[in-house]
């Protein structure tokens, strides 16, 4: 299947800083592709080039096999990290305002239902909660009934319930066979929403594939988590176990769970607060880059 959007050797250079360093990937129709990474990884710069907001230094961006142009801009919906809305008007008036910018638009009633705006249509936009504002901005991005939707860190700053409500909206959009390009700091968000992820660091893609494929290809182990204070200094310096410090915990990546637990007991480590889990996307990032994702 030909990608709906394809990136070939994309570069963005700012004087002495190469923000994006020759990345290539494709986004197939009807899928959600996530760009993940810490601040400064280059993911927002990449998305801004894909959206046509900033020019690339070199490389190609193709939409349906052709360079992006005005037709592409009519086919794309964008939800920015920060969007200024007109003060002293309602949600309904905001939708009508942005709707006037397009020749072709999605029916408003359909959009209001899809983004769950019905309960606050007549509310001043200044009085919206964080989650309500994000739902309005999502509706604005969908007004032109786009073929591809760009979401740049859409749930940053939302409480857990509002984030999960927003995820459901994105699942609904995906069920309409919309194509989505997402940037996020949240690994659980990427796992829930993305069919394919590309992990970026220092302007490059360092891993790419479905979440399940990436975890399976990099891990055949379990993660043992213990309070840092419960682990003796001698064990922390041991070369026999793969230990990582994460906040107040020590995490041990183990290929043989029984053997690792036996070793901990022999060292006199209390297992009272031990937790065992499968590796996550955040573990994968730590494994690949040597540092944790940071919001």
What's residue 295's pLDDT? 46
Residue 290 confidence (pLDDT) above 80: no
Residue-averaged pLDDT of the chain:
89
What's residue 64's pLDDT? 92
Which range among 46-60, 194-208, 236-250 shows the weakest confidence by mean pLDDT? 236-250
Q: How far apart are CA 63 and CA 143, in angstroms?
A: 20
Rounded to an integer, the average pLDDT of 125-140 is 94
What's residue 167's pLDDT? 94
Which range among 48-57, 98-107, 138-147 shows the weakest confidence by mean pLDDT? 98-107
Q: For 69-79, how does the pLDDT look when each residue is reduced to its tens digit (9 = 90+)? A: 888 888 899 99
Q: What is the CATH number of domain 5-216?
A: 3.40.50.300
Q: How far apart are CA 152 and CA 81, in angstroms?
A: 5
pLDDT tier at 235, thresholds 50, 70, 90: low
> Is residue 204 classed exposed, middle or buried when 0-12, 13-18 and 19+ CB atoms within 10 A define those classes?
middle
What's residue 241's pLDDT? 63
Cβ count within 10 A of residue 184: 24
Rounded to an integer, the average pLDDT of 95-110 is 92
Give the predicted TM-score (pTM) of the model: 0.83
pLDDT tier at 242, thresholds 50, 70, 90: low
Q: Are strands 5-14 and 58-63 parallel, antiparallel or unpaired?
A: antiparallel
Q: For 253-289, how does the pLDDT look when each residue is reduced to its tens digit (9 = 90+)? A: 788 888 888 888 888 888 888 999 888 888 887 777 7
Q: Which residues pair with 202 in a beta bridge?
A: none
DSSP string, 178-210: -EEEEEES-HHHHHHH-SEEEEEETTEEEEEE-
3-state helix, strand, coil in the chain (%, to 5): 35, 30, 35
Q: Choose between 88 and 82: higher pLDDT.
A: 88
SS3 116: coil
Q: Domain extents for the chain?
A: 5-216, 222-278
Q: For 89-100, how does the pLDDT look when each residue is reduced to its tens digit (9 = 90+)? A: 999 999 999 999
E-assigned strands of the chain?
A: 5-14, 17-27, 32-36, 58-63, 66-67, 76-79, 148-152, 179-184, 196-201, 204-209, 222-227, 242-246, 249-254, 275-277
Residues with Cβ within 8 Å of 53's Cβ and at least 6 positions away in sequence, in order, are none
């Amino acid at each position: 299947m030909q990608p709906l959007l394809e990136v070939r050797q994309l570069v963005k250079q700012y004087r002495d800083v190469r923000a994006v360093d020759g990345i290539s990937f494709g986004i197939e129709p009807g899928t959600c592709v996530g760009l993940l990474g810490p601040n400064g990884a280059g993911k927002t710069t990449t998305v801004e080039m894909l959206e046509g907001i900033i020019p690339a230094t070199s490389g190609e961006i193709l939409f349906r096999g052709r360079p992006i142009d005005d037709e592409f801009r009519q086919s794309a919906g964008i939800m920015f990290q920060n969007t200024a809305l007109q003060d002293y008007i309602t949600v309904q008036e905001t939708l009508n305002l942005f709707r006037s910018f397009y020749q072709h638009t999605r029916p408003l009633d359909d959009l209001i239902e899809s983004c769950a705006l019905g309960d606050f249509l007549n509310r001043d936009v200044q009085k919206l909660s964080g989650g309500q504002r994000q739902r309005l901005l999502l509706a604005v991005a969908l007004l032109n009934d786009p073929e591809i939707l760009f979401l740049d860190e859409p749930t940053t700053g939302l409480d857990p319930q509002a984030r999960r409500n927003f995820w459901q909206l994105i699942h609904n959009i995906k069920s309409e066979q919309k194509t989505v390009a997402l940037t996020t700091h949240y690994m659980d968000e990427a796992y829930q929403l993305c069919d394919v992820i590309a992990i970026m660091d220092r302007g490059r893609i360092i891993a790419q594939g479905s979440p399940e494929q990436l975890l399976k290809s990099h891990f055949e182990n379990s993660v043992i988590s213990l309070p840092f204070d419960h682990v003796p200094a001698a064990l922390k310096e041991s070369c026999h176990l793969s230990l990582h410090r994460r906040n107040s915990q020590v995490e041990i990546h183990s290929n043989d769970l029984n053997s690792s637990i036996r070793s901990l007991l022999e060292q006199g480590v209390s297992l009272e607060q031990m937790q065992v889990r499968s590796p996550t996307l955040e573990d994968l990032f730590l494994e690949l880059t040597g540092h944790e994702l940071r919001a």
